[in-house]
Chain A
Amino acid sequence: MKFECGDLDRALANPDLMTEAREHLRHCATCRNEYRVWNEISTTAKQLHQEWDSPDLWLRIERGIGQEPPRKRPRPQWHAWMFVAAAAVVTAIAFLSWPQLTHVKPPTKSAGQTTASERDFLTEQALRNVEKNEAAYRHSIEELSNLAQPELGSQTAPPIVASYREKLLMLDSAIEETRSIVAQNRFNVRLQRELADLYRDKQQTLEEIVASGQRR
């Protein structure tokens, strides 16, 4: 290949062509000048680095940092994961459990044929399911309650958390009262449904508290 002036750029990008390029440079003043400029660019560029004293720059930065709002204590990452997991478990149980209470199946017989006992009372099997699921639901809510404790006990929590605290006290009291009534009338669908509603209310309240803590 005959090396021509237009090939110089290719040679600069590809060292394999430099032998031929050098031969060409011996005879071509224009390319020699270009090659000189090419080499001088890198040499001269080193002088472009600028150094100057900035005695007050760090002080300005320090002052700026001092004006930043105080750093929040980093929340452990497991907190968020636990919240997601606990909320998922509670929600799953809320939807899957107590089917007899939340989704009472329409009677297969006509309304006229349905007896009062079939509408208002659980069967033995249904009661066993309800009690089993209630225990699981209660356990999940306790875990959620543990997650909400830091926010409930925090001195810096917003005023709304105080209202949540009172609401939880009322809900706990109502739950205990309803449970003691249910204990005396375990087959009663209405009472079981009331208890389920109270648990659901407590779950939502706890979720709001945890979410409030996550936002802060």
Chain B
Amino acid sequence: MTWEVSVPLQFGTALRDNSTDAELLERCKRGELQAFERLYTLHAARMKSLAFHLLGSRDDAEDAVQETFLKVYRGIERFESNSAVSTWMLRILINCCYDILRKRQRLAEKPMPKEVPAHTKLTLKVALERALLTLNEQHRLVFLMFEAEGMKHSEIASVLEVPEGTSRAWLFEAKRALKQVLTQRSQAHEI
């Protein structure tokens, strides 16, 4: 398995060093802590970023990544290499994030984002972050994985266990919805 990423540079550089994924997996299955640390070095940055977008807080994102690695440790012996280990880890991560969100809902915590005062002139980035919250989960996930994390549709499809065409369609739907929200905003605020 080779990640083909265009951004970010630092993460992309790290990923080019994983030519021995199968070997790493075998070492993890033997319970070698160093192998897990290597997995962490390779994948934690993307995992943290994705978790941050789902949870809206760095602390929660780190908790989700921690929980994911513990689940990976517990389950790696049963992991069969039908998909890449990174794909499997992202799938676990997304489930961990949903668990945290559900827990949050039970505790009736305020959901994510730090509200930006209405009079503030928004940068496009902030506007995009806010607009993302209007999307449904699947569209948002595909958008973040493709556009923000530089994943390919084949990888996204594998993580979400949907056909590649569905991943493409969801990305288009996500961008269309974002375009609509941002166009209205640009007309109102002249971004």
Contacts and interface: CB of A to CB of B under 8 A. Distances in A.
A45 B128 contact: yes
Interface string B107-151: 000000000000000001100110000000000000110011110
Given A38-B179, A48-B147, A71 B31 contact: yes
B105 interface: no
Contact of A51 (B8, B53, B62, B128): B8
Given A41-B147, A68-B70, A68-B74, A51 B10 contact: yes
A48 B125 contact: yes
SS of A interface (majority): helix
Interface in B2-23: 7-8, 10-11
B176 A9 contact: yes
Contacts of A13: 172
B179 A41 contact: yes
Task: Bin the interface of chain B by size.
Answer: 35 or more
Given A51-B45, A51-B49, A61 B187 contact: no
A115 interface: no
B128 A64 contact: no
B145 to A, nearest CB: 11
Interface string B33-77: 100110010001100110011000010001001100110011001
Contact of B66 (A38, A51, A64, A71): A64
Contacts of B36: 61, 65
Given A61-B40, A62-B33, 12 more contacts: A44-B124, A44-B128, A46-B148, A48-B49, A48-B125, A50-B52, A57-B66, A60-B66, A61-B65, A65-B70, A68-B70, A71-B77
A14 to B, nearest CB: 10
Contacts of B65: 57, 61
A41 B186 CA distance: 12
A140 B177 CA distance: 68
Interface residues of A, number: 30
A54 interface: yes
A61 B70 contact: yes
A47 interface: yes
Contact of B44 (A33, A38, A57, A65): A57
Nearest to A35: B179
Interface of B: 7-8, 10-11, 31, 33, 36-37, 40, 44-45, 48-49, 52-53, 58, 62, 65-66, 69-70, 73-74, 77, 124-125, 128-129, 143-144, 147-150, 172, 175-176, 178-179, 182-183, 186-187
Contacts of B149: 49
7 contacts: A12-B172, A33-B186, A37-B182, A46-B148, A48-B129, A50-B53, A50-B58
A40 B128 CA distance: 10
Nearest to B44: A57
| CB-based closest 9 A-B pairs | A45-B147, A48-B148, A50-B49, A61-B69, A37-B182, A50-B52, A64-B70, A49-B148, A44-B124
B3 to A, nearest CB: 14
A163 interface: no
B147 A42 contact: yes
B177 to A, nearest CB: 10
Nearest to A34: B183
Contacts of B125: 44, 47-48
A46 B9 CA distance: 11
Contacts of B40: 58, 61
A77 B75 CA distance: 17
A159 interface: no
Most buried by B among A9, A38, A44: A44
Contacts of A47: 125
